[in-house]
Amino acid sequence: MDLAEQLANAVAQSSEQAGATGDALIAVAGFLSSRASLRRSLTDAGRSAESRESLARELFGGKIDESALDVLGSAVGARWARTSELVSTLFELGVLAHLLSAESRGALDVVEDELFRFGQTVGNESGLRSALLDRSAPEQARRQLVRTLLEGKAQPETVRLAEYAVLERREGSLDKELDRIIELAAARRRRTVAVARVARPLSDEHRERLQRALSTQAGMEVQLNVVVEPDVVGGIKVEIGDEVVDGTVIGRLEDARRRLAASR
């Protein structure tokens, strides 16, 4: 049984349990991220898996819930090429626990959409973005700003995952962190995510046609998120995974310019 499957089984009883386990795993990952010597002890291949698990239980027993402790024990019992991989995996398992919480309540679609819209809101307001990403500001102040924006307006899992994305940013940027969480949510439903950038909103019919075409191309169901950007001049730019299909006027002009330069 892999760690994700073990986590899913451990939190299957209730969304409250899943949320508590997610918070615990994220807290442990954050604690370990700044303690290199402890990470080395917990991933030391020269010690037995049982010894590493015993150390983890000694350190965190009674401080986190049993589900999180069991998953942590299995995680440190595995072999890791780098100590940072343990931390990254614990962070991802914490995120997954919150997604499982939303899934258990039938709210996973809503959380995915709310996280996407949160990213768009932050991206469109430079002052807000600066305040959220200012690492010199107190962590609690930035956490409270996220809650002010979302609490009472979004699912509890959305609030917690937005806090995580703002405060941790394991992927290097808020945009990438949110994208990663959204991809994990889509993967729970065996989907992939596409982002269409357009100059004007798409009609329902056009959106449905595009979503069907992308699903056919990807070989699986596609969750289509549409971003209206006035700077997009005609056409449409679609990002799906690592692929970018640029059908905008600007994109076609740039492509023609590159071809012309190459032919000289």
Model pLDDT, residue 249? 47
| Helix ranges (DSSP H) in 34-138 | 36-43, 49-60, 66-77, 83-104, 108-124, 126-133
Model pLDDT, residue 251? 52
Model pLDDT, residue 51? 96
Domain map of the chain by residue range?
Answer: 1-105, 106-189, 191-263
Model pLDDT, residue 35? 93
Terminal C-alpha separation, the chain: 58
| Helix ranges (DSSP H) in the chain | 3-10, 15-33, 36-43, 49-60, 66-77, 83-104, 108-124, 126-133, 139-150, 156-167, 174-188, 204-218, 249-263
Model pLDDT, residue 233? 64
β-pair type (236-240, 191-198): antiparallel
Name the region of 106 (left: φ>0; alpha: ψ -120 to 50; beta: rest). Answer: left
pTM, to two decimals: 0.76
- The rounded average pLDDT for each run of 10 residues, N- to C-terminus, in the chain (264 residues) is 81 79 94 94 94 95 92 93 93 93 91 93 91 92 95 95 89 84 86 80 82 80 80 74 65 54 58
Count of CB atoms situated within 10 Å of the CB of 14: 12
Model pLDDT, residue 250? 47
Q: Six-digit token pair at 199? A: 């100059």
Model pLDDT, residue 21? 92
Model pLDDT, residue 40? 95
